[in-house]
Amino acid sequence: MNQNAVTATRNVAIVGPYLSGKTSLLESLLFVTGATSRKGNIKDGNTVGDAIAEARDRTMTVEINVASTEYQGIRFNWIDCPGSIEFAKETYNALMGVDAAVVVCEPTSDRVLMLAPLFKFLDDWKIPHLVFVNKIDQLSCDGGACGQSYRQILDALKGVSSRPIVPHQYPIGKAEQLIGFIDLVTEQAFHYHTGAPADPVPLPDSLKDAEHAAREEMLEALADFDDHLLEELLEEIEPPQEEIVKDLKMELGADLIVPVFIGVAEQDYGVRHLIDALLREAPAPEATAERRGLTGKGGATVAQVLKTYYTPQGGKLSLARVWTGQLTDGSVLNGIRAGGLYHIFGQQQQSTPEAKAGDIVAIGRLEGIHTGDTLSTEEKGAKELPKAPAMKPVYGLAITAEQRKDEVKLSGALTKLLEEDPSLSWEQHEDTHEIILWGQGEIHLKVALDRLRRKYNLPMDTHLPRIPYKETIRKSTSSHGRYKHQSGGHGQFGDVYLDIKPMERGEGFSFSETIVGGVVPKQYIPGVETGVREYLPQGPLGFPVVDVEVTLTNGSYHSVDSSEQAFKQAARVAMTEGMLKCNPVLLEPIMTIQVSAPTEFTSKVLQLISGRRGQILNYEPVSGWNGWDRVSGYLPQAEMHDFIIELRSLTLGIGFFNWEYDHLQEVPGKLADHVLATTGNGNGNG
């Protein structure tokens, strides 16, 4: 790259669903602009993006990939983002630092719905974006007429966007094959050529009416935000091309419209025109910074971390967007000295002495800094920039190191793993004592486990997390417990009578005493309570006991042999014998869930919940989501492990849910018998 020729920068994210062709588009963009001399291929595993082993094993993007190219004096920093919703947090973090996004989709109207969550994020954060309909050669062109199929795609896009969808190009077909496009700004037709720029050709007579209608649609959408253009259209005055381009630039930059382009990334079709449009119409970094309220006044440097990497050679790298000011090697950010600046090209790092406002660079050794953090050279620090919202985990696995000697390394490795991927989390469950790794889905956790094995030499064994069952009682009883032990010298003697009663669900545990006449001296009563509490972690069914009231009503003592320890043991005897008489029952945790999905899938969601012993509470439209419903209900935790997998299979991969613990509920009889038979008295998976 000729760095002296670079006079400005554009930061562009490439986003879209899995299999839409984002990585192929990145390869084409790098190739046609001369950044690479040969295009890589996903099947061959030699692309600039997806170079890490976890991505190539699955032929899918699992983390953002950055590569730069220079085109007509502009440095384009491309960020190829994962398409799977399981890695959406990676995408959202990256989008917080770009000037524009190219949304890649397939030419199939029923798959456009998969863009809904992505469009919602882009619209909510007012991130300028355009659509590149990839694989347009698969468009149905019956007798050369591709317009109807194209119209269906545009209509589908309107269904997932809160911004007007504006066609920028129109397809040209021949027989059943797509051969080119018409630029609706210049009204120039082009024919595609593999490995070469598209050739300008005369506008086909058969498409003049369709092209005119599509161009009118574009102009009318632009006129909604430009009174002068509206007047020209009303007076049937042909607007100059310069005015149309100016409106496209202004309205795209303000995230008022969504222009639509077409092409075939693998063949480089339409890619040059896409980058030309980005050159003309995408907002410059200064405009993006201003939109974020960053003027650059005062001379301070402000940056934001978009991604954290741990590399085998360079250690920690923080990929950051420089919003204002300038960075140099050794700059002090948030009190930490930067240990090197690098431009990233796939897996390659190129050292650079400085980074200016608008650049995206990797900064070395910023210990204690995390993805999303705002960086500043000011001693007091800059105002925190907004971060992409956190994503609650929906899928968990219990993990243990294959070799016990590795257990001491696990905590440190998990800390680094979560720094690289903030959508992961882990906990040591207080009831089951398992280490549970949480994420956004099955593939997400498999990738995380692969990283633990490859990067940190920590192979893991996994199993389903145990369900933290509890138990309670249905009946009351009175129980007598006596502990008497003689072993020479002073003996041990404690004697108690306990009333054991059930409490209302959720009330926990209560201990009281009604001793009169000093039959149990006051100094021994705490020992009785301790003995009761020490019994509760494992009741007669083998699980922690809850919602029980225990009252010490009577007892006796020995003036020499009694002690607090003896009364503690007597209480345990009373609890062990008494609880068996109280009709113990098994309880399971019940979660409250809110499932969101397109309305057309609502009936399937209802069936999914009810088919897993769930209880439907209500469903209603989702505020701010056009054509989506939210179903609320209760679901047993035992039914939740693979709930997200089935939900996504029923909803084109875009359904999602939130959950939290709500209450405990009695396990139905036969199921309770099965749990008790398979858990080994509380020690199994459940």
508-538, pLDDT tens digit by residue? 999 999 999 999 999 999 999 999 999 999 9
- Judged by DSSP in three states, 602 sits in helix
Count CB-CB contacts under 10 A for residue 315.
13
- Judged by DSSP in three states, 212 sits in helix
Query: Using the 8-state DSSP alphabet, how is residue 493 labeled?
Result: E
| Spatial CB neighbours of 478, under 8 Å, sequence gap ≥ 6 | 497, 498, 499, 500, 553, 578
Residues paired with residue 510 on neighbouring β-strands, in sequence order: 549
Q: Which of 102, 199, 188, 206 is nearest to 147 (CA)?
A: 206
Question: What is the bridge-based pairing of β-strands 374-376 and 302-311?
Answer: antiparallel
What single-letter amino acid sits at 77? N
Distance between first and last Cα of the chain: 59
CA separation for the pair 542, 680 (Å, rounded): 8
302-311 β-sheet, strand order: 348-351, 341-345, 360-364, 315-324, 302-311, 374-376
- Judged by DSSP in three states, 259 sits in strand
Please give the pLDDT value at position 3: 42
CA separation for the pair 142, 131 (Å, rounded): 24
Count CB-CB contacts under 10 A for residue 235.
7
Please give the pLDDT value at position 7: 63
Query: Using the 8-state DSSP alphabet, how is residue 265 labeled?
Result: G
DSSP string, 362-383: EEE--TT--TT-EEESSSS-PP
* Contact between residue 528 and residue 567 where contact means Cβ atoms under 8 Å apart: yes
Q: Burial code of 462-494, b = ≥16 C-beta within 10 A, e = fewer?
A: eeebbbbbbbbbeeebebebbbeeeeeeeebbb
CA separation for the pair 555, 285 (Å, rounded): 80
Q: Read off the tokens for 405.
A: 């000697």
Which residues of the chain have a pLDDT value below 70? 1-7, 143-144, 175, 488-489, 680-686
Between the CA atoms of 94, 95, 97 and 99, what dihedral angle is there, to the nearest 10 degrees?
140
250-267, pLDDT tens digit by residue? 999 999 999 999 999 999
* Contact between residue 466 and residue 434 where contact means Cβ atoms under 8 Å apart: yes
pTM: 0.92
Please give the pLDDT value at position 143: 66
| Spatial CB neighbours of 505, under 8 Å, sequence gap ≥ 6 | 472, 547, 663, 664, 665
